[in-house]
Amino acid sequence: MARERLYLFDTTLRDGAQTNGVDFTLADKLAIAGMLDELGVDYVEAGYPGANPIDTSFFSERRPMRARVTAFGMTRRPGRSASNDPGLVALLEAQADAICFVAKSWDYHVRIALETTEDENLASIRDSVRAAKAKGREVLLDCEHFFDGYKANPAYALACAKAAYDEGARWVVLCDTNGGTLPHEVEDIVGEVCKVIPGDRVGIHAHNDTEQAVANSFAAIRAGARQIQGTLNGLGERCGNANLVSIIPTLKLKPEYADKFEINVSDGALGRIVRISHGLDELLNRAPDRHAPYVGESAFATKAGIHASAIVKEPKTYEHVAPERVGNKRKLLVSDQAGRSNVLAELERIGLSLDKDDPRVTRLLDEVKEREANGYAYEAADASFELLARRMLGQVPHYFDVEKFDVNVEQRNNASQRVTVSQAVVKIKVGNEELISVAEGIGPVNALDLALRKDLGKYQSFITGLTLTDYRVRILNGGTQAVTRVLIESTDETGEHWRTVGVSANIIDASFQALMDSIVYKLVKSGAPA
């Protein structure tokens, strides 16, 4: 049976740009548009020309890509003609393949927010769609507050959608603008709409305010809609939009959808979705959500010993899809409750296959247990675990010694301002060479990190691509005897991420251990000679 085509519309660059704390530059927008095009979405809504200089310059020239570049904007203002509305004229001039208009579809909003009549709002929808079609653009209409509007006045909400459809809009998109509609309501209402407008002309735009944006999108598909709008990593205002990074693997891997629908995302692109998702986080300077479905580092992580031995024998027993399909990895966590099979599986993952009866496995397990009792957390620090295992096997060369370090924090008056300055001095011995580095940082750990990595002599070239992406501190027990655990995440020029851990009563010492593990791990991984 031929599969039906389902379309993906991404609004990361428009609705996603409303996310608290997100500010895209033009270069960011172009980079993200490239990622979306690589992924294979059908539409990239890139912004609102005229609303700000970045969006205006994005649409000032053709941006060639496979996806249809879409400009967002308002329908003509009430009481004006289409040609006499500067906002609409600017939108029509934008270098875009498609135009997505937003219009009110809730009678209450038409009267209160727009201060106009229901008929004038319908006329504005018709005129705007007609004007954009005359310009040769594909047209979409976002029906704002559609579900709330439908509940209040179904005839009027439908009339707004129908006005755009009758005028020739390619898509009528039903928006759950406030994000509070529940899946069964979405399914019912979309079902009603699809009796009037063919489903292959209907889209869904869901927000995540009850954490059901993904479920609402699927509810709409079940009821007949054939376009899903969403964003990468669920970026968006308040609680975000429907997360395409969760929706795409479900569409591709779950037979209920995969057998019935075809999307423009190839199997190869699906296998890069982890990288694309994390690439966006990197661009936003955020640590990826480890628990994100499909793409999170914990998405295929198993902890207890009895599960681990089963998962090695038959992965399907504990995994709903194969992690490789989305470019993720199976991970077996090593922890104090873990059995021998966890350690063995983890050793195998890092390429150190030992016989299960090898006494070194017992030694490693004992060592992990003892260290975890003292506060180390190896399941959160894969690289530190790997170093521990490799050290036991004599596989970590002796690269350098830190003979001593000194960190100082000074507060002083600078002109009329009180400033705090941190400085670190590190003395390193590489072979017979002694190196002293000094660095200032925004805090003592930053200063120590900068000084440590400033000059590693003959090893310096191996660590130039090393950067720290996350630093987390946890106090393990209260009071003055508290023990501090530091977890550091690092990355390098290959895009690999790794985590290291340090534990001490002293936060600088704990940080030092984690920093050292990160550097040594990078040297081992790069094959630096002893």
Instruction: Find out whether 204 and 227 touch, Cβ atoms under 8 Å.
Output: yes
* 434: number of Cβ within 10 Å: 12
Least distance between Zn ion and beta carbon 71 (Å) = 16
> Considering beta carbons, is residue 174 or 450 the nearer one to Zn ion?
174
CA-to-CA distance for 152 and 106, rounded, in angstroms? 7
Encoding tokens for residue 163?
Answer: 């006005």
Burial of 313 from C-beta contacts in 10 A (0-12 / 13-18 / 19+): exposed
Least distance between Zn ion and beta carbon 510 (Å) = 43
Least distance between Zn ion and beta carbon 225 (Å) = 16
Contact flag: residue 55 with Zn ion (CB under 5 A)? no
Pairing status of strand 98-104 against strand 138-144 = parallel
Least distance between Zn ion and beta carbon 186 (Å) = 15
Instruction: Find out whether 447 and 422 touch, Cβ atoms under 8 Å.
Output: yes
Closest CB to Zn ion belongs to which residue?
15
> Considering beta carbons, is residue 19 or 384 the nearer one to Zn ion?
19
Least distance between Zn ion and beta carbon 337 (Å) = 43
Contact flag: residue 187 with Zn ion (CB under 5 A)? no
By CB under 5 A, the count of residues binding Zn ion is 1
SS3 505: coil
* 291: number of Cβ within 10 Å: 10
Q: Which amino acid is at 459?
A: Y
> Considering beta carbons, is residue 37 or 142 the nearer one to Zn ion?
142
Contact flag: residue 15 with Zn ion (CB under 5 A)? yes
Least distance between Zn ion and beta carbon 15 (Å) = 4
> Considering beta carbons, is residue 15 or 492 the nearer one to Zn ion?
15
Stretch that binds Zn ion, among 7-15, 297-305, 390-398, 468-476 (CB under 5 A): 7-15
Stretch that binds Zn ion, among 14-22, 317-325, 340-348, 388-396 (CB under 5 A): 14-22
Instruction: Find out whether 74 and 48 touch, Cβ atoms under 8 Å.
Output: no
Binding mask 22-41 for Zn ion (x = CB under 5 A): --------------------
Query: CB under 8 Å to 477, separation ≥6 — which residues?
Result: 483
Q: Which amino acid is at 16?
A: G
Give me the sign of the Cα torsion angle 374, 376, 379, 384: negative
> Considering beta carbons, is residue 94 or 175 the nearer one to Zn ion?
175
Least distance between Zn ion and beta carbon 16 (Å) = 9
> Considering beta carbons, is residue 15 or 138 the nearer one to Zn ion?
15
Encoding tokens for residue 153?
Answer: 């006045």
Stretch that binds Zn ion, among 9-17, 22-30, 120-128, 248-256 (CB under 5 A): 9-17
Tell me which residue of 35, 40, 34, 31 sits closest to 9, measured CA to CA: 40
Give the footprint of Zn ion on this chain (CB under 5 A): 15
